Amino acid sequence: MDIIPTALEGVVILEPLVFADTRGYFFESFSLREFEEKVCPIRFVQDNESKSSYGVLRGLHYQNPPYAQSKLVRVIKGAVLDVAVDIRKGSRTYGQHVAVELTEENHRQMFIPRGFAHGFVVLSDEAIFQYKCDNYYAPHAEGAIAWDDPALDIDWKVASDSILLSDKDRKHLPLTEAGTPF
């Protein structure tokens, strides 16, 4: 597994070694030993999966401490643009983001540590998205920032009028008004 650093400290892309032949392919999608050697110590406790259609945008979400979560995300089917935003006050990259295309073909994964907001938009007709979390989901600890915050300047690669949001995701505040706890 190759680890590709990003412009945000702690956020990394994981690229597996894929063995392909006429029968299909095989790759190791997760090894705790290798992850801890190359990325950081971790204890994942929950796996989640979502299925979404083109233009569905989920995010930008985080959990407030002490329920904060690190996530290891990947696409099983389709393609998404995956985004992590640094919401750690005092960080030299506060308010900056990285965006990575994760697809069923490239098998890439992205690790988003605690202290980052996370979201993705579906670029294909349909996508199945999986993620591991190092803390359990706590509904009362939910936090989020507006996906279209102009200060973040995220190019979601989907026209604004094609974005599909939940009612909850339509109501989030910009980063400067959200009062993030990190």
Judge whether 94 counts as a catalytic residue: no
Q: Of 97, 107, 131, 172, which one is the catalytic site residue?
A: 131
Is 118 known to be catalytic? no
Position of tokens 């979560």?
69
SS3 content of the chain, % helix, strand, coil (to 5): 10, 40, 45
User: Catalytic residue among 54, 61, 136, 172, which?
Assistant: 61
Residues in the chain: 182
φ/ψ of residue 160, rounded to 5: -55, -40
Contact 175, 85 (CB under 8 A): yes
What are the catalytic residues?
61, 131
